[in-house]
Amino acid sequence: GTQVTVEIHREDTSPQLIKRLSLGKGSQRLRGHDNKGFQRTEAPRPPGAKDLHAYPWDKSSLKSMPVDLQQLKKLDAYALKVNVKNSVEELVKALLKQARTDLEKVRAIWMWICHHIEYDVVGYHNKSQLSSKPKDVLQMGKSICEGYAELFEHMCSLAGIQCKKLSGHAKGHGYKTGQTFTGDSDHAWNAVYLEGRWHLLDSTWGSGSVDDSFTKFTYRYNEFYFLTHPALFINNHFPDNSNWQLLKPTLTLKEFENNMLHNSNFYTLGLLAAHPETPIIQTVNGKASVSVDCRTGTLFMFKLKGTDEHGLMTLKKYGMMLDIYPQKTGSHKLEIFAKPSKAEASDDDYKCVLEYVVECESVDKAVRFPKDLHQPVGPSWFSERQGFLQPSHREPVLHTNDGRCSLTFTLGKDISVLTSLHTDGSSLAEDMGRRHVLQIHRGNQIELKVHLPHAGSFVLKIYSKKKSDPGNYDYIFNYLIRCLNTEVKWPAFPQSYSKWLQDYEILEPLSGLLPANRNVQFKLKMHGVAKVLVQAENIHPLTQNRGCWEGSCNTSGCREVFVMVHENANHSFYSHVLKYEVETQ
């Protein structure tokens, strides 16, 4: 039953519709110049049905109306440079010189306040001495939330824009997860009337932040709190008058208290939702799980009581999943951090996006992760981007009963791979950790064969670099490999030297430890060599047969066996390519 008027104009003519909806223009009908040449604004009307937004958030936009930030850049820069401190009237006049629409007027006022008024940490502790009158706030250049909101309201009314100061409870500085709110309101913010609807903003939180001890304010502009979507604003602002939630349905104080606090970083980074949706999580059999949904590749990390040792985090295309296993009972703080994937360089780009309290009643001692395990675990869009495509194992954990496993990937162009196996304790030195993983290349496929030296939990780390780069290998990702079978005891693969080329392949013997006093069969896939010899106590030449070099050698009387190649029939020298050990008797 609603009538909608749609007007279509050529691009270069300005639409009438906007003008008709914009109340700032309409208010010029009031010609009473009682305010030093400023027009009076109409008394703000209370919020009605057309101001309301659906709750929960529909994941569409972070703001309650379309705002083109690129288009506002010039105005923003102008507003920052305005330097008028003698009176609020003069300041507003100067700011409005470059502002045409009501949105632009509000924007200029917002930008100026966020960058010129600082939070008064001293005044906060001694409120009796504090004035929040607009002219005093301007003179001092600092205030608490009350003063920000009153200055904003006054400047808007001078600019002919309806604006209202709102007060209520906020999950701001000093908020503790799960706390209740009682007594008087503790924060103030504003509603402004633009294009026929009420919108919310908080210039105190837009201007910066206060440190933990509440002694130092830092200017740090935050776009999020300008015309914030009401379904997101309610996350940390609960107005005394529930009509000013601008939501349908409205939330109760209890719901506000119990709701998960997502700070502005959560939404600014494009995250959409987190599960569970309550801030306090109980472990079940020693385990708790958290997941985050987001739009595109985002990198995550977590800290449980300040460390990421007791969890398993996997990156998904649209978010992440985390299982944690606290190793002590009691309450633990769990923090989740995120950063856009473009900022791969440094860890300090990670911003805290979520905080949970994990209540742990019993500990699962069986789940201990090796110290070398690096989060996230398993393959992901990130390892794909680095050229490890179509992984045979998409899960982060591999379980093996016989102590052997094999993984395959399709490799991107020009990639050289390095792998190593790690476990807690001193059973596996670094050089041996490399030799328990064998790389087999077939075209653009790589197979990683892993033979575990004993039962336990192991980390398979995978590094890569461009073949054309002379530099070091970069760490890409890792897997957790678990084996419970205590009978397992695989020797390392043979040691290979630089002349052993990437696409050569050992068919047998795969074990780097040969039995003593035995005839051992050799079968090696190698190309581009003239002769292949096995040197034990005696020298045994191998013969070429359909692309493989085959033959046998006897291991009696020697501790080591080498495979050597003659790269050119006319040369007299050999290169070592493989080395095997022989069991002592």
In this structure, the chain runs to a length of 585
Same domain, 280 and 316: yes
Same domain, 220 and 79: yes
- From the list 115, 116, 145, 360, the catalytic residue is 145
Which pLDDT score, from 0 to 100, does residue 337 have?
95
Give the number of domains in the chain. Answer: 4
Q: Is 127 contained in some domain? A: yes
Per the structure, the complete domain to which residue 502 belongs is given by 494-584
Q: Is 182 contained in some domain? A: yes
Same domain, 130 and 174: yes
Q: Is 154 contained in some domain? A: yes
Which domain CATH number covers 344? 2.60.40.10
Q: Known catalytic residue: 202?
A: yes
DSSP state of 27: G
Q: Is 23 contained in some domain? A: no
Same domain, 119 and 247: yes
DSSP state of 49: G
Name the residue with tokens 């604004």: 41
- From the list 154, 187, 199, 332, the catalytic residue is 187
Same domain, 105 and 233: yes
Give the residue from 360, 381, 397 where a domain finishes.
360
Q: Is 30 contained in some domain? A: no
The predicted model scores a pTM of 0.83
Same domain, 487 and 567: no
Same domain, 485 and 504: no
Q: Is 279 contained in some domain? A: yes
Tokens for 201? 């903003």
Which domain CATH number covers 207? 3.10.620.30
- Please state, as a whole number, how many other Cβ atoms lie within 10 Å of the Cβ of residue 127: 11
Which pLDDT score, from 0 to 100, does residue 26 have?
36
- From the list 51, 102, 120, 202, the catalytic residue is 202
Same domain, 444 and 570: no
Give the residue from 462, 493, 524 where a domain finishes.
493
Same domain, 341 and 394: no
Q: Is 439 contained in some domain? A: yes
Give the residue from 493, 511, 546 where a domain finishes.
493
Same domain, 205 and 284: no
Q: Known catalytic residue: 145?
A: yes
Helical H segments across 97-191, by residue range = 102-116, 121-125, 134-140, 145-158
Which pLDDT score, from 0 to 100, does residue 39 have?
62
Same domain, 244 and 307: no
Tokens for 372? 């070398």
Q: Could you read off the pLDDT tens digit of each residue along the chain, which spans 585 residues?
A: 677 878 777 776 554 444 444 333 333 333 334 455 566 666 678 999 999 999 999 998 999 999 999 999 999 999 999 999 999 999 999 999 999 999 999 999 999 999 999 999 999 988 888 899 999 999 999 999 999 999 999 999 999 999 999 999 999 988 988 899 998 999 999 999 999 999 999 999 999 999 888 899 999 999 999 999 999 999 999 999 999 999 999 999 999 999 999 989 999 999 999 999 999 999 999 999 999 999 888 999 999 999 999 999 999 999 999 999 999 999 999 999 999 887 555 556 899 999 999 999 999 998 889 999 999 999 999 999 999 999 999 999 999 999 999 999 999 998 999 999 999 988 888 888 999 999 999 999 999 999 999 999 999 999 999 988 888 999 999 999 999 999 999 999 999 999 999 889 999 999 999 999 999 999 999 998 999 999 999 999 999 998 899 999 999 999 999 999 998 877 778 899 999 999 987
Which pLDDT score, from 0 to 100, does residue 348 have?
64
H or E element, residue 230: helix 230-233
Half-sphere CA count of 433, side-chain side, radius 13 A: 19
Tokens for 345? 């360089």
- Please state, as a whole number, how many other Cβ atoms lie within 10 Å of the Cβ of residue 115: 18
Which pLDDT score, from 0 to 100, does residue 347 have?
59
Tokens for 351? 């911003």
Which pLDDT score, from 0 to 100, does residue 512 have?
96
Same domain, 337 and 200: no
Q: Is 249 contained in some domain? A: yes
Which pLDDT score, from 0 to 100, does residue 363 have?
94
Q: Known catalytic residue: 187?
A: yes
